[in-house]
Amino acid sequence: MTLQASSFAAVGLPSLAPRLCRSRRGPVVRAKVEPSEKSVEIMRKFSEQYARRSGTYFCVDKGVTSVVIKGLADHKDTLGAPLCPCRHYDDKPAEAAQGFWNCPCVPMRERKECHCMLFLTPENDFAGQDQAISFEEIKESTSNM
Amino acid sequence: MAISLSASSIPRLSGENPAASSSMSPLRLRLPAGARGFGGGARRISVNSKPRGFSLVVEAKKQTYNSFDDLLAKSEKPVLVDFYATWCGPCQFMVPILNEVSIRLNDTIQVVKIDTEKYPSIADKYKIEALPTFIIFKDGKPFERFEGALTADQLIQRIEDSLKVKQ
């Protein structure tokens, strides 16, 4: 899956972003914070292990898997814990400390419910056959983000 | 500095010449001249949450918005809002699907996406929890909401059913 990273819309609010000079090489890419490779690797290994342990499978679209793994890694970097990336929080540090939504979250542990589509039970329409994903695969799937 | 809301289709996704295409796609903010986002010429702006007499201009319609509320109030069609986050897998999965739905339901609905990490106050206001959350706004008010990724056909069915039944 080619992930489309553009946020087409956000809402119209005034921008204080500094105007970037138009580079001759083409559009200037605004630096996007990427999770550390170390954390991505940790969360990748965790995901493979947990999928096997729970009898769940990755999404047919490995791009989804890759994005979630990176999201978990990003939270691990910034919060110290892999807080679920598919949720909106009032207070992320508080949530990370509390733990309900730290991966594997309580809904997953209790009912195998993963709304991130990271761990899918075999009967799920989106479930693929894999319980493995390589670092390269993650990198390629998210290269255009 | 005015911000343009462009209704042109996204070149990378459709592979078509945006000038030649007259189809509507999800509204996206476009910054004039230098400031650019990443990925296929798409734009992203970072803003603070207080409007300061700044305006958004929609190229196609020449509408001006001061805020999300303003956008909702001024929209002639129902608005489908996608609340998402960058590292949410299902949200990224929905990107091409929303583009397709926006084109197929061009006359029926306007599609808008909100990054909940950039606009947490809007996400808080509508009590967003799981991502993606979709809210259909009609007459400026939340009309229907649902969570999770779905296919283009499922989403279209959902939108049509919603707008038809509760008329």
Three-state SS across A19-67? CCCCECCECCCCCCCCCCHHHHHHHHHHHHHHHHHHCCECECCHHHHHH
Residue A145: pLDDT band with limits 50, 70, 90? confident
Residue carrying the six token digits 């598919």: A86
- A109 neighbors A37 (Cβ within 8 angstroms): no
A91: left (phi over 0), alpha (psi -120 to 50) or beta: beta
Supply φ then ψ for residue B75, to 5 degrees: -75, 135
Secondary structure of B68-114 in HEC code, one letter for each residue: HHHHHHHCCCCEEEEEECCCCHHHHHHHHHHHHHHHHCCCCCEEEEE
From the candidates B56, B80, B91, B150, give the one annotated as an active-site residue. Answer: B91
Annotated catalytic, A105?
A: no
Query: Chain A residue with minimal CA distance to B12?
Result: A4
Residues of B in contact with A66 (CB under 8 A): 89
Check CB contact under 8 Å for A14 and B51: yes
State how far the Cα of B163 lies from the Cα of B78, in Å rounded to an integer. Answer: 8
Residue B164: pLDDT band with limits 50, 70, 90? confident
Q: In Å, how far is B104's CA from the nearest CA of chain A? A: 17
Query: Chain B residue with minimal CA distance to A16?
Result: B47
Q: Least CB-CB distance to B119: which of A10, A16, A19?
A: A10
Residues of A in contact with B129 (CB under 8 A): 87-88
Annotated catalytic, B91?
A: yes
Check CB contact under 8 Å for A71 and B87: yes
- Name which of A7-16, A68-77, B33-42, B156-165 the model is least confident about: B33-42
Q: What is the pLDDT of residue B24?
A: 42
Mean pLDDT of B50-67: 49
How high is the ipTM of this complex?
Answer: 0.80
From the candidates A86, A105, A114, A116, give the one annotated as an active-site residue. Answer: A86
pTM, two decimal places: 0.72
Q: Least CB-CB distance to B36: which of A20, A66, A90?
A: A20
Straight-line distance from the first to the last Cα atom of chain B, in angstroms, rounded to the nearest whole number: 40
Whether the bond between A82 and the residue before it is cis, its omega within 30 degrees of 0, is: no
Q: Which residues of A57-76 are buried (b: 16+ CB within 10 A; e: fewer)?
A: bbbbbbbbbbbbbbbbbbbb
Q: What is the per-residue pLDDT across A28-57, written as a single tens digit (0 to 9) for each?
A: 555 568 999 999 999 999 999 999 999 999
- B120 neighbors A88 (Cβ within 8 angstroms): yes
- B50 neighbors B106 (Cβ within 8 angstroms): no
Q: In Å, how far is A29's CA from the nearest CA of chain B? A: 5
